[in-house]
Structure 1
Amino acid sequence: MIVKKLHDAGVRSEHAYLGAFASIGGAFLAWVTSNKAEHAGLDRADRWGIFVGEWAPTFFALGLALAQYEQREDTVPS
């Protein structure tokens, strides 16, 4: 199970949530940077922003999965 391997590697739900919020900010930053620096037009900037912005739901879902795993680990007797 991927969630167990991530948890065993030290990744916690807080890390995934932080990644989600960072990707939201990164999407805006990618959009602004592409729009200003590349001079390729607004369409390309929009594509960069959307590409990076799509990471956020993945990180949020991973955070939820890790949170459920962490909660289950706390209730399992050792």
Structure 2
Amino acid sequence: MTLLPGRSPPGDTDSTTRGLAMLHMVRKWGITSNHMFAAGIASIGLSVLSWLTSLRAEGVSRADRWGIFVGEWAPTFFALGVGLRLDEQENPKLK
């Protein structure tokens, strides 16, 4: 199987370990899954707000770009929230 440079093969435990280390680091900063879920919900509201603000100031095409740009943050926050929730359940004492 040919891989692109920097890509790991499926099932690579090194990439899984790096992902878990990132989640542990985020938890050590005091960020919980509830914070990430709240950030996801807030980014949806911010997307609508940025779209409305940009619509009045810059026109429809620019407003759509701003709304979509900010709206793409929500799935990222929700995915991190799910990852953190799973990590919190597997390692409840980690802080």
Give the TM-score, by structure 2 length: 0.74
Structure 1 unaligned blocks of 5 or more:
none
Moved over 3 A (4+): none
Residues paired across the two proteins, number: 73
Quick check: 1:8 aligned with 2:28?
Answer: yes
Larger RCO (CA under 8 A, 6+ residues apart): 1
- In angstroms, what is the RMSD of aligned CA positions? 1.1
Counterpart selection for 1:24 from 44, 47, 55: 44
Fraction of identical pairs, as percent: 51
Structure 2 unaligned blocks of 5 or more:
1-20
More helix as a share of residues: 1
State the AA in 2 paired with 1:23.
S
**Using the alignment, how far apart are the partners of 1:8 and 1:31 within structure 2?**
35
**Using the alignment, how far apart are the partners of 1:21 and 1:37 within structure 2?**
25
Deviation track 1:8-56 (CA, whole Å, cap 9, x = no partner) reads 1100000000000000000000000001123xx2010000000000000
Q: Which has the larger radius of gyration?
A: 2
